[in-house]
Amino acid sequence: MDQPTNKRFGMVIDLDKCTGCGACMVACMAENNVPFREDDTDKLLSIAWMRVYRLKNGKSFPQAEECFLPRPCQHCEGHHGHSPCVSVCPATATDYDMQTGIVSQVPTRCFGCRYCMAACPYHVRQFNWWDPIWPDGMERSLNPDVSVRMRGIVEKCSFCYHRYQRALDEAYAEGRRDLKEHEYQTACTQACPAGAITFGDLNNPAHTVHKLAQPDTAHEGKSRNPKAFRLLERLGTNTKVYYLSSREWVRRAGDSALRKS
């Protein structure tokens, strides 16, 4: 029997194009009902599924250079779906979906032990220390496709999985079983005014992400594109977010501590 080919949804972010404007962050917040607080300036406590970091080359003026690095969940595949967070979750609140390659997060299953936060090398997971409260009337802007998370649980980027489901629903309604590349795009990809983010199926050679990332499946998806790198690749997390940069110091920075922006 024919098995449908598994997908590996992934992202390529061209750091040469990224302007650090923050549209991806805000698109994500609006799409995914991310709560906000009166004082969100402590970025360790502020919830953002997508965060733009600022990298510096460490040189002094005027040789100083900066580069911006948007960081969604990296959707690690590890070895056969053993992503760092999935392996430690005692509640099966987070899981690696072999059909899509997406690391899910089910808020209603999570009981807030935060093992996953400790395990994640990328700080993509954030804890709801407070009840999400919207100013009077603003809760009208909430998106019904994404559940609002309450105090005491962990949340993170889902590659806008609800958009995948909606796109599939629409395709099924038309009698199709497969999606076209443009039908499933994350909110950040869609919003990026510089066209820096590309999203699609890394397993599909026709998709732009595949062409840009040139993943080498024999070597855990390592890119064959000399401009491309992944964050902390040496950890073997086998992430599905690839970054492109023409600057060497930026590519090197992908493997050391990042500074927040």
Partner 1 sequence: MKIDRRSFLSFVIGGAAGTALSPLPWKLTDDISIWSQNWPWTPVPPKGETTYVASTCTLCPGGCGISVRKVDDRVVKVEGLKGHPVNDGGICPLGLSGAQLLYSPTRVRAPMKKVNGTWREIAWDTAIQEIADQLKDLREKGQPQSVAWVSDSDRGSVAELSKRFLTVFGSPNFIRTPSIQDSYELVLYLTQGQRAMAGFDLANATYVLSFGSGIIEGWGAPPHLFRAKSVMQQKGGKISQLEARLSKTAAKADQFIPIKPGTEGALALGLIHVILKEGLYRKQIVQDQSTGSDALKKLAGDDFAPEAVSKTTGVDAKTIVELARAFAGAKKPLAVCGRGNGRQEAGSAQEFLAVHFLNALMGSINTAGGVVAVPEPDYVDWPEPEMDAAASAGMQQARVDGAGGKDFPLSRYLLNRLPEALDGGASSPVQVLFVNHANPAFSLVDTARVEKSLKKIPLIVSFSSFMDETAALAHYILPNHIYLERFEDVPASQGFPKPFIGLVKPVVAPILKTRHIGDVVIQVAKAVGGNVASAFAWDSYEACLQESLGDKWDRLKEEVYWVDSNFSPAAFETKSKKFEFANADIALLPAYAALKAPGDDKAFPLTLVPFDTLRLASGAVGTPPFLVKALEETMLQKNDGLVEINPVDAQKLGLADGAAAVLSTPKGSARVKVTLSEGMMPGLIAMVRGLGHTAYDRFLAGRGVNINSLMSSVEAPGTGFEAAWGVRAQLTKA
Q: Which residues bind partner 1 (CB under 8 A)?
A: 16-17, 19-23, 25-27, 29-31, 33, 36-43, 46, 48, 54, 56, 58-62, 64-68, 107-109, 111, 131-144, 147-148, 150, 153, 190-196, 260-261
Complex with partner 1: residue 109 or 114, whichever CB lies closer: 109
With CA atoms as reference, report the closest residue to 77 among 211, 192, 230.
Answer: 230
- Nearest approach in angstroms of CB 44 to partner 1 is 10
- Nearest approach in angstroms of CB 43 to partner 1 is 5
Token pair belonging to 125? 């997971």
Please answer whether residues 261 and 68 qualify as being in contact, where contact means their C-beta atoms are separated by less than 8 angstroms.
Answer: yes
DSSP secondary-structure letter at 109? Answer: T
- Nearest approach in angstroms of CB 37 to partner 1 is 8
Cα dihedral 218/222/225/227 (nearest 10): -170
Cβ count within 10 A of residue 90: 9
Complex with partner 1: residue 8 or 163, whichever CB lies closer: 163
Token pair belonging to 123? 């700080």
Cα→Cα distances 246→10, 50, 136, 160, 184, Å: 21, 23, 47, 29, 28
In angstroms, the CA 173 to CA 66 distance is: 47
Please answer whether residues 94 and 85 qualify as being in contact, where contact means their C-beta atoms are separated by less than 8 angstroms.
Answer: yes
Complex with partner 1: residue 42 or 174, whichever CB lies closer: 42
- Nearest approach in angstroms of CB 21 to partner 1 is 5
Complex with partner 1: residue 34 or 231, whichever CB lies closer: 34
Complex with partner 1: residue 235 or 258, whichever CB lies closer: 258
- Amino acid at the residue 171: A
- Nearest approach in angstroms of CB 121 to partner 1 is 21
Complex with partner 1: residue 73 or 76, whichever CB lies closer: 73
- Nearest approach in angstroms of CB 59 to partner 1 is 7
- Nearest approach in angstroms of CB 103 to partner 1 is 21
Token pair belonging to 97? 């979906």
Please answer whether residues 229 and 243 qualify as being in contact, where contact means their C-beta atoms are separated by less than 8 angstroms.
Answer: yes
Complex with partner 1: residue 57 or 203, whichever CB lies closer: 57
DSSP secondary-structure letter at 258? Answer: P
